[in-house]
Structure 1
Amino acid sequence: MCCESVRRSFPANLVVTGILTLAIGYMTMMICSMHDVVSVMLTLVITTVVCASIIIFSMQTKYDLTSMMGFVFIASMVIMVFGFVAIIGGIIFKIRWLYLVYSGLAALLFMVYLAIDVQMIMGGKKYSIDPEDHIFAAIQVFMDIIYIFWMLLSLIGGARSD
């Protein structure tokens, strides 16, 4: 994603994207193995419906969400600091609900990112992605959806005790 020469060269971009997809798929599989089946399937259904709704909304709306990049960056920094506090609070003080609040807010933030990224792919707004950067755009949308799934899974939870 960071190396433009690899991202735009034909066989290398597909190979690297395939490796990234397999690695993230394996990591997601390991994360899902720590939860019970019902919570994973519920998270899958919720993620599918939410992402489909956001994509349809982003494609149909006349509002330019790409012009809100500054606000989304500030919200990302706030969520990042809150995440550090939630991790420290969970480890040291055993405050579980703080991490749940973080997961919910992070999931909402990545839903906003998904809407912005879809509008950037569609073009015609303040910011857009060049059609030659189709690998970059696909990875952005893929990562948004994966992050939404991970955050919702940690929110719904249901970690196994065995």
Structure 2
Amino acid sequence: MFKRDIESLNSGDFDDRYIRHAFISKVFSIVAAQLLVTLAILAIFVFVDAVQDFVGENRWLMWVALALLIATMLPIACCESVRRSYPINFILLILFTLAESFYLGCIAIRHTPDVVLIAVGITAVVVVALTIFALQTSIDFTACWAFLLIASVVLIIIGIVAIFVPSRILIICYCSIGVVIFSMYLVFDIQIMMGGRHKFAISPEDYIFAALSIYIDIVTIFMYILTLLGITDN
């Protein structure tokens, strides 16, 4: 750790801190906007009967939404020039958010409004707690990327097994593990965004990618919690 006194600080240090703080504020603002859009669309799906009937009669729309969210996510995640190019990066992020929100809505209508609201509340508490933890803890989760990768592979294997071997207990275990893993991913992505003392950091130019990563973590945690509540409610 570097020891610096006031005289050793220069304008470059100030600019770096300023850029990083502005970057963090921008990312959180974008994620907040994404979540507000998602909540609004979820509310329409859950509380408007006409929308539920329409989606129920046209189930293919869910698969269209899934295809669209994958098609818009991949360029942002895999192509640096795309995610750093304005306005195409914002357009892709908006389309992804709308597609993800529509897809979530299609899943949410399978559950009662009470279950969806409880899932939203629990997710909000978990996300706020994890965000505070990520900002305050001295534990560097960015150094645990190998563990998260292995855990993700294990989660995928369990998910595949659950498809071919339907089991209530297996699904509960799968969703519970999923909540834990993506909670760790959320802390991981927030710390990468913060930079500083952590092992890995993301460039301030990749604010769209950072927002996408955090948004996906939150949405995935919500889906696992919703599934858990739906199973236990039946």
Partner in structure 2 of residue 106 of structure 1: 178
Which amino acid in structure 2 is aligned with residue 137 of structure 1? A
Distance 1:49 1:160 in 2: 20
Answering whether residue 105 of structure 2 is matched by residue 29 of structure 1, we say yes
Partner in structure 2 of residue 119 of structure 1: 191
Provide the alpha-carbon RMSD of the alignment: 1.5
Structure 1 residue 160, shift from structure 2 partner: 9.6
Distance 2:192 2:174 in 1: 27
Distance 1:55 1:84 in 2: 30
**Is the contact made by 1:35 and 1:160 (CA closer than 8 Å) also made in structure 2?**
no
Distance 1:53 1:159 in 2: 24
Distance 1:87 1:49 in 2: 30
Partner in structure 2 of residue 143 of structure 1: 216
Partner in structure 1 of residue 150 of structure 2: 74
Give me the identity figure in percent.
Answer: 39
Partner in structure 2 of residue 18 of structure 1: 94
CA offset digits 1:16-45 (Å, max 9, x no partner):
100000000100111111111111000000
Partner in structure 2 of residue 130 of structure 1: 203
Answering whether residue 160 of structure 2 is matched by residue 84 of structure 1, we say yes
Distance 2:99 2:110 in 1: 17
Distance 1:35 1:146 in 2: 16
Distance 1:48 1:109 in 2: 17
Which amino acid in structure 2 is aligned with residue 61 of structure 1? T
Distance 2:85 2:187 in 1: 28
Structure 1 residue 13, shift from structure 2 partner: 0.7
Distance 1:101 1:159 in 2: 12
Structure 1 residue 107, shift from structure 2 partner: 1.1
The one of the two structures with greater contact order (alpha-carbon pairs below 8 A, sep at least 6) is 1
CA offset digits 1:34-57 (Å, max 9, x no partner):
111111000000000000100110
Distance 2:104 2:176 in 1: 18
**Is the contact made by 2:168 and 2:231 (CA closer than 8 Å) also made in structure 1?**
no
Which amino acid in structure 1 is aligned with residue 193 of structure 2? I
In structure 2, relative to structure 1, the CA distance for the partners of 1:158 and 1:86 (3 Å cut) is closer
3-state SS of the aligned residue for 1:28? helix
**Which has more radius of gyration?**
2
- Runs of 4 or more consecutive aligned structure 1 residues displaced over 3 Å after TM superposition: 158-161
3-state SS of the aligned residue for 1:157? helix
Which amino acid in structure 2 is aligned with residue 150 of structure 1? M
Structure 1: runs of 5+ lacking an equivalent = none
Partner in structure 2 of residue 64 of structure 1: 140
